[in-house]
Chain A
């Protein structure tokens, strides 16, 4: 029946192990949601804390992916948006004693405005030059956070302690509660991103990425859409920062160095460009890969502190290996796998 519908995606008619593709997607989604809900009850609090961090990084990677993957603009400055979001939340909680859940959206809005305003002048810059401009943003941010005349708000180098919310739900401990809180926010954001990239705005974003001249000929206001994309990207990353501040219970300038931007970039590329599930894979990679490297090194060298320097060598090797074997990211790998295994009905 679907094959008669001219709007239908031809890929939907394929079968994976005899199951129709839309059904496969639905099953994957249900299994994924079921896992996300049940896992926190099966593992230790520390593992729940790590999973919460994975979600936070995934949201930040998603924000960067909207900008780079869907709109083709580079940014090395997303640590700045992450910091802005984190500090907005920390200052609202610490200085103005606002409940943590009221701070998430304002943090996102502040970063949307920041991203939009930064996007306007940055429009004149393309590719590598834009990357350099955003790099400056990433380098300047920790210094601004240290600046003594802002100290009243930012706490200067000492940073700000953020009180972690207690669980209001009996049966959930603080770590599990925070995980579900981040999960709900993350799910809303994923839903939003999914709607965005499939709609008119998303098509405009992708058209600008693929051919800006053609896009503007089609009547797309490229500068407006590029600025909005920068704003939306900042919004996502800012919310990730806000959640990150609550999870870590602490913000300080040293938490938001330029390296954080690089981590987001690594997460995005390893996960896969222009893909929403890829953001979760990216978040998992950012958090677990350094830990896996650490475990591998301690497997070979025991607890010898002299071997600590090798952790990053191992990490580097893993990274090179990943990029070499799966050049389209983990999401691309899965897509390729499905393409190989899926069969046309009756074939």
Chain B
């Protein structure tokens, strides 16, 4: 309480132009330690994401073994919220009010983060690099304490829209999307990119519910529309069903599949590698299992990290590479903040990352933020599945979100 008061006074002093007075460090920061809070779905319907929290925990272990950040060890407190928004609210309050963490990092899920969005901003606690691709995390004027990380879903939708306009300007487009904000965000991105062409080219759009047992009937309906480009916005389970059904009925359009499902292990293998040939998608970080990165130094370092600090983790699961990359983004912010670890300064540095390279991002990619740009990653590269691996093609594509 005293600390917060002091930092308020310090900020007020700065605002009055009293000179570069240093704000007091955030709660949870000592000379030897920085406490970071997190919530993850270790149980419940989204528990497959739980490995992200675990790989980040292992990443901090490895950083602490190397002496920590500027001499401070990271204490990572991660609670299970079961992907339930009211539970997230409770756990986040516990982290901030009882455990007194300095800030939260990589809290996972769109509905869950929505439940604490206002609370974090009211409390003025940095709500850093949330693990969701929704666009609403980048509103610095309205929510100055919340920032996202991964390329948002609208960006990917825009990339798909652009690809269709460039390569198939006269296509007949069919779309399937999951009926929630994740699915709809992609379509919004496509619409923004394609303008009035969207209504001209799209001949049929179907949706599915995440609770549906199968999407076979939607696929048959889309195939009957005569479309020759298929935009598939679905999670791995349904993407695999779609690919299988398409092979069964002999529908062979140009298949654009969202990055969420472009996984060899969880989508293409169950759907049949032969059936999946030719599918186009996008990505922003390296697949550590791809032979292309066999001799890549960063990938080797990741393998060594997994062996030593997270031996239970599945190396075939790309989320573990994601956790490594985002953890190093956080480390970069703390390094930049140096010994000025007030909440204000941590937030300021998170919004002041200039072309920071973090391991496992695709070559040429960097994290970049500014006080008006709260979208750290806005580039992706397209790739095509050749029957055994995703082959990247074309340049890095930037799609700035307004």
Interface contact A250-B85, CB-CB below 8 Å: yes
B137: CB under 8 A from chain A? no
Q: Determine how close the nearest CB of chain A comes to the CB of B21; give it in whole angstroms.
A: 29
Interface contact B85-A254, CB-CB below 8 Å: yes
Interface residues of B in 116-130 (CB under 8 A from A): 117-119
Q: Determine how close the nearest CB of chain B comes to the CB of A237; give it in whole angstroms.
A: 15
Question: Which residues does chain A contribute within 8 Å of B28, judged by CB atoms?
Answer: none
Q: How far is the CA of A274 from the CA of B84 in the complex (A)?
A: 29
The answer to whether A46 and B43 touch (CB under 8 A), given A143-B211, A156-B181, A308-B50, is no
Total contacts A to B, CB within 8 angstroms? 100
Interface residues of A in 284-319 (CB under 8 A from B): 294, 303-306, 308-309, 311-312
Interface residues of A in 132-160 (CB under 8 A from B): 139, 143, 146, 148, 156-159
Interface contact A309-B86, CB-CB below 8 Å: no
CB-contact partner of A311 in B45, B80, B98, under 8 A: B80
Question: Which residues does chain B contribute within 8 Å of A221, judged by CB atoms?
Answer: none
Interface contact B50-A157, CB-CB below 8 Å: no
B79: CB under 8 A from chain A? yes
Interface contact B86-A244, CB-CB below 8 Å: yes
Question: Which residues does chain B contribute within 8 Å of A305, judged by CB atoms?
Answer: 40, 42, 50, 53-54, 57, 78
A118: CB under 8 A from chain B? no
Interface contact A255-B179, CB-CB below 8 Å: no
Interface footprint category on B: 35 or more
A100: CB under 8 A from chain B? no
CB-contact partner of A248 in B54, B83, B115, under 8 A: B115
B295: CB under 8 A from chain A? no
Interface contact B209-A143, CB-CB below 8 Å: yes
A53: CB under 8 A from chain B? yes
Interface contact A249-B84, CB-CB below 8 Å: no
Question: Which residues does chain A contribute within 8 Å of B312, judged by CB atoms?
Answer: 306
A201: CB under 8 A from chain B? no
Contact mask B81-102 → A, CB, 8 Å, 1/0?
A: 0011110011001100110000
Q: How far is the CA of A278 from the CA of B118 in the complex (A)?
A: 35
A50: CB under 8 A from chain B? yes
Of the listed residues A49, A244, A255, A305, the one surrounded by the most CB atoms of chain B closer than 10 A to its CB is A305
Interface contact B78-A250, CB-CB below 8 Å: no
Q: How far is the CA of A303 from the CA of B35 in the complex (A)?
A: 12
Q: Determine how close the nearest CB of chain A comes to the CB of B225; give it in whole angstroms.
A: 21
Question: Which residues does chain B contribute within 8 Å of A158, judged by CB atoms?
Answer: 110-111, 114, 181
B76: CB under 8 A from chain A? yes
Q: How far is the CA of A50 from the CA of B91 in the complex (A)?
A: 10
Interface contact B85-A159, CB-CB below 8 Å: yes
Contact mask B364-387 → A, CB, 8 Å, 1/0?
A: 000000000000000000000000
Contact mask A30-59 → B, CB, 8 Å, 1/0?
A: 000000000000001110011001000000
Starting from the known contacts A161-B114, A308-B43, 8 additional A-B residue pairs (CB-CB under 8 Å) come to: A143-B209, A158-B181, A244-B86, A248-B85, A255-B84, A257-B45, A304-B57, A308-B78
Instruction: Sample 9 A-B pairs with CB under 8 A, ordered by A number.
Output: A159-B114, A244-B86, A249-B118, A250-B115, A305-B57, A308-B50, A308-B80, A311-B43, A312-B43
- Which positions in A face B, CB cutoff 8 Å? 44-46, 49-50, 53, 139, 143, 146, 148, 156-159, 161, 244, 248-250, 252-255, 257, 259, 294, 303-306, 308-309, 311-312
Q: Which 4 A-B pairs have the closest CB atoms?
A: A308-B42, A46-B97, A157-B180, A250-B115
